[in-house]
Amino acid sequence: MAWPDSIDTAQEVDIETSAGDDGSVHRTTIWAVVEGGDVYVRSLRGPRGRWYRELMATGEGVVHVDGEAFPVRAVPAADPDSIERASEGLRRKYPQSRSLDSMLVDDILETTVRLEPR
């Protein structure tokens, strides 16, 4: 499948980030949504989340979904429009999840990120 269709249909994806200087690579399973053709992610742990910190520090990562790897560039998306689009995507994609409300709390909205293929 092509970007972003495979992300839109997957319940979860893995994001691969790097610690930078030491070259350690980490993979974390996260939620990703597609709204208006844009891919959004948000850190459940807010700014403390390791994958979020590493992604913001380097600006790059790799999304793994359905056996495919998509190198991505991270674009901070903490503006009100992007936050609402991401939140709407989460509500649409995960309406039955008990974790949904945790992804919509004010404390983590600022960690909304748009992922673009690179």
Model confidence at 19, pLDDT cuts 50, 70, 90, reads confident
pLDDT, position 1: 66
Q: If you average pLDDT over residues 1-25, what whole number do you get?
A: 89
3-state secondary structure of 91: helix
User: How do residues 64-113 score in pLDDT, each as one tens digit?
Assistant: 999 999 999 999 999 999 999 999 999 999 999 999 999 999 999 999 99
- Please list, in sequence order, all residues whose beta carbon lies within 8 angstroms of the beta carbon of residue 76, skipping any fewer than 6 positions away: 56, 112, 113, 114
- Tell whether the model's pLDDT for residue 22 goes beyond 80: no
DSSP 49: -
The CATH number of residue 102's host domain is: 2.30.110.10
Report the number of distinct structural domains present in the chain.
Answer: 1
Evaluate if pTM is beyond 0.75. yes
Its domain, for residue 51, covers: 5-117
